Every structure is written in structure tokens, then in C-alpha cells.
Amino acid sequence: MLSSSPHIGHKVAVCGIFLSFLFASVVAAESADQNHGGMRVPHNNKLELREIVFVVQSQRNSFHVRQAEERRADLLKQVHGLTEKPPAVLLLHTLSDNEGDWSILPLLPYLSRSFGKNSSWIVFLEEETNVKMVTLLQVLARFSKNKEWFLGKPLHDEESTIIHHYAFAENPSIFKYPDFAAAWALSMPLVVRLANKVRDEPLKSDFTIDLKHEIALYIWDGGNGPHLTAVPELCTEPEGSPNAQYCATTLRKEPPLCEEPVKKEDIFVAVKTCRKFHSERVPVIKKTWEKDALFLEYYSDHAEPSIPTINLGVPNTERGHCGKTFAILQRFLSSAVPDTKWLVIVDDDTLISLPRLRVLLSCYERSAPVCLGERYGYGLSQGGYSYITGGGGMVFSREAVVRLLNSGCKCYSNDAPDDMVLGMCLNALGLPITHSPLFHQARPEDYSKDLLAHQVPISFHKHWNIDPVAVFNKWLRDDWRTNTSDEHNEKSKTEL
């Protein structure tokens, strides 16, 4: 929550006069010869705050709406009384009813049409991105607003990865893409050109998997467009840390804990497996995260009492697993399993931290139709839909499952892609997919080290070419806040 500023009288007035002058007259040169990071600064590159448009990459879920509104309030609070015309601060989820807006590219024609004449920069930021307005204004003023610029904190792949379609396989580190958490910016000349391109040329890829990488590829355009320019002041350092002193953007020190973590007894976990993986994958779950689940069942094509596994009567398929997933949804609402608030569906090669998930779920309204996980998209520029990619884990509130099954939605075949079929059904119902970057469809090796460095991940997927137990122990051990909370609750019960 935003805290109110204390009244400190005359000093505030003097400071306000100074900052007003600063905002109105920030220029990118103390002299024409000044150099920043090897780039010569234009002498007349004056930039005013009203020339910046902020787009908070918000979502329709109530928790995320509150987060985004607080971010907007903070940005406007910083400039209150310092400029006659504050910058525009847009919440992405409010701009249209187009499901594909979160993929940014379909949004560019609107931004170009609405702000192309009077604005110089579009700055995108996530809900948790803190911005120091004065510092950011000074940073942007270093770059000519009349040229095409793509600015951000660069990430790169250590090795070619499936989530980036093995792009730049010979040298994956050569291509840089922005860390959205640090904010990223496009100059208006680039926005206008890209908007025209989006209007005139259909987007080539049907799938949206890792948006930040795909946007960078689209802008780069095989070498015809600009590379990402690294801006050191766009940071993911924790707010208030010594390393954040010169940063224009920072992150909160730790993930939010909205209330007490969701109780173990409020979560039911369904693991999809099959006979051939009983001896290979199930033991990994038992060695790692099974102990953190109070209610868990393994669903297979073969009932094996020693695990135990349950045969739902759906034949195993090599891919898709839609029939099995819908049988799980139906069982969740039946009297065969405990009456719980949340359903978590994972693969037998998913590694997940249930204590961290319980912390995250404290932020979501359990009586609402919540569908949570890592969001992918299909055909978003042509009226397509979003879906939760299954390998990272799919989380549904009971209300979401009720609405889904009451709609009559069903699989067109047992081996249809379950996550995509669910996405189509949820889209038809108008139920949003809520994205969390803490769920991961691939292995830690498939993500940039700099990205994972500021995350507290909830899940990873695949056992290929890794030691899954070692990966779990390194990346997904119980986080201290959940353990502390559990210990506190147990102590309180004892004292009572």
C-alpha cells in the first residue's frame, strides 16, 4: 500500500520548486561533447515528462488490478505538483477487450494512433516495477527522441533453448532481449514504424511462448531493425539495496504475502502419469515435493497399489492427455476426493514448490474463477486465445472448475492438447488466464541466469539431461516465510 508523505513545510516547497525546474528542463547534454556510455548526446535533446507514456502490463484478475492501480498511483504521486501535464499512465488490461493485447504487438497501432503526435517514448513496466521518475527522465533524455530506440536491461541465452525455438543455435548469447521486470522503452519513431508493420503484415508465428524474446526478434527483424540497447539504469535490484543507488527502476525486496499462506488442506494436487514412467518419474516426486501435499493423487493408465496410482478409465496417449485432464476435473468436483478450494494439475516430470505456491495463492480470491500458471498464446493477433501451459503446472480455483464443466466444454479427442482445449473453453467463457512468471514450462537451464536471479520460482518442468532431485534442491526448496508462518501457527495452537 502507498504511504502518505509527512508534511515538512517550507523545505518541501523549496524542494518542489527545484524539482519542477528539473522536470521542465531535463536535457541530455551539459555540453555537446558530453558522452554517456560511449554514445554522444544531442545538444538539444530536451525531454519533458508529458512526452512519456507509461504502459503497466496489467492483468484482469482483481489482485493484479490492485497491483497495477498502486503502480499508477505511485507514478502520478511522484510528479504531483511538479508539472502542469503529467505523463499518461495506461493499464494494459483496460485498453480494449482484445485478448491479444498482452502480447503488445497488436497494441502498437493503438499507441501510435493515440500518442504518436505528442509523445516521444512508450515505457512498458510490470506491476512490481518501481520507477524513480527523475532518474528515468534523465536516462531517456540521453537518447535522441527522433530516432528509433529499443531500450532495456538485456538478457541472453547461455545455450539454445526450446522455448526460443533454438534460435541462434551456434551462438545463442549474441542475441539480447529485455527483462520486462526492469521496464523497457520504445521511441515513438520506432512505435510508429512497427505499428504500420503490424497493420500491413500478418504476424508470422501462431504461438506466443516467451513474449520478451519474441518482441525483440520482431523488432530486430533479421537485422533490418534496431538491436536492444542496454541501459544500466534499468535494473532489477531490490528496492533500497546499495546496488540500486543509481537505478531508474528497481523491484520489491521479496514477493508479496497478501495474507497467511493458503493451508495445505485447501489444495488438491493431481499428477498425470502413465505406466512406463511409474519407476522413472514418480520416485522423483516422492523424493522431492510429495511430502508438501496433504491431498495428492497419481492418475495413470494402470492402477499400481504400491504408489498408489488411480486408473480413471482413460487410455494413455503419447501426447495431449485431454481426456485424462477432463476426467481429473470431474473427479475434483466429486465426492471421491476431499472438498478443497484449489486444484493443481501437474505432469509427472514437473518440479514444484507447494509452500511457495501457497504463499502466492494468498493473493488470490478463492471464491473467484481463478486460472493461474504460465500463460502462452495461440493466434493472438487473429482473435485467438491464451492458455496455461501444462508442464509448469495449472492451478484452478473450485469456482473456475465448476464454471468450466457446467459450460459443457469437452475434449474433441483423448489426445487433444489439454492445456489448449482448456484455453479455448476459458476464452469462450470470458474467464481470464492469470499469468505468473514464477511457473516455468522448461528447465532452469532454458532460462537466462539474470532472469532467474531475481525470481523465487514455483515450478520447472522436464527431467531431460538434468538431475531433477538436484534441480529441486537448488531452486525449489521451501521458502523461509512459509516455514516461519507454519511454525508460528503451530506454536500459537500449542500456546492456546
Give the pLDDT score at 477.
85
In terms of phi and psi (left: phi > 0; alpha: psi -120 to 50; beta: otherwise), the region of 174 is: alpha
DSSP β-bridge partners for residue 49: none
Give the list of residues 6+ apart from residue 129 with CB closer than 8 angstroms, or none: 71, 181, 182, 183, 249, 250, 251
> Can you read off the three cell numbers belonging to residue 468?
531433477
The CA–CA distances, whole Å, from 106 to 61, 381, 489 equal: 21, 6, 48
CB 232 within 8 A of CB 142: no
Give the three-state DSSP class for 402.
helix
Give the list of residues 6+ apart from residue 470 with CB closer than 8 angstroms, or none: none
**To which residue does cell 482484445 refer?**
98
Q: Which domains does the chain have, with CATH numbers?
A: 13-251 (3.90.550), 264-495 (3.90.550.50)
Give the three-state DSSP class for 328.
helix
Query: What pLDDT tens digit does each residue of the chain (496 aa) get?
Result: 333 333 334 333 333 333 343 333 333 333 333 333 333 344 457 899 999 999 999 999 999 999 999 999 999 999 987 778 999 999 999 999 998 999 999 999 999 999 999 999 999 999 999 999 999 999 999 999 999 999 999 999 999 999 999 999 999 999 999 999 999 999 999 999 999 999 999 887 789 999 999 999 999 999 999 999 999 999 999 999 999 999 999 998 777 779 999 999 999 999 999 999 999 999 999 999 999 999 999 999 999 999 999 999 988 777 778 999 999 999 999 999 999 999 999 999 999 999 999 999 999 999 999 999 999 999 998 889 999 999 999 999 999 999 999 999 999 999 999 999 999 999 999 999 999 999 999 999 999 999 999 999 999 999 999 999 999 999 998 744 444 444 444 433 333 3
Dist CA 76 CA 71 (whole Å): 9
> Can you read off the three cell numbers belonging to residue 406?
457446467
Dist CA 214 CA 198 (whole Å): 14
In this structure, is the dihedral angle defined by the CA atoms of residues 117, 119, 120 and 126, taken in order, positive or negative?
A: negative
CB 399 within 8 A of CB 420: no
Nearest to 307 by CA among 283, 291, 336, 341: 283
- Cβ count near 447 (within 10 Å): 23
Question: What global pTM score does this model have?
Answer: 0.88
CB 97 within 8 A of CB 130: no
> Can you read off the three cell numbers belonging to residue 328?
481429473
